[in-house]
Structure formats: structure tokens, C-alpha cells
Amino acid sequence: MTTAALTAYVLIWPVLVAVVLVVISRGFLREWLEARRNGEDLI
């Protein structure tokens, strides 16, 4: 495996984790804001 390929493989994981975190955070915030607008508890 070349150095460039290994570097790309290692650096792609933080990017994937960040994307997943953004998707989960957006969903949570959307649900939280909707619950607040409706006067309901989140849980």
C-alpha cells in the first residue's frame, strides 16, 4: 500500500465520523425544536 493510499485511508475515518455526527445532530435538533413548538417533552 502506498503512503498516499494509507494516509487517505486513515484520514477518511474522521470525515465519516463527522458526517454521521452532523446527520444525527440535525435530526436531534429538528425533533427538539418541533417538540418545543408543540409544547411537548422530548422524551
pTM for this predicted structure: 0.72
Q: What is the per-residue pLDDT for 43? A: 83
Kindly report, residue by residue over 19-38, the tens digit of the pLDDT.
999 999 999 999 999 999 99
Q: Domain-by-domain residue ranges, the chain?
A: 1-43
Confidence label for 6 from pLDDT (cuts 50, 70 and 90): very high
Task: Say which DSSP state 39 is in.
Answer: T
- Whether the per-residue pLDDT at 1 is higher than 80: the answer is no
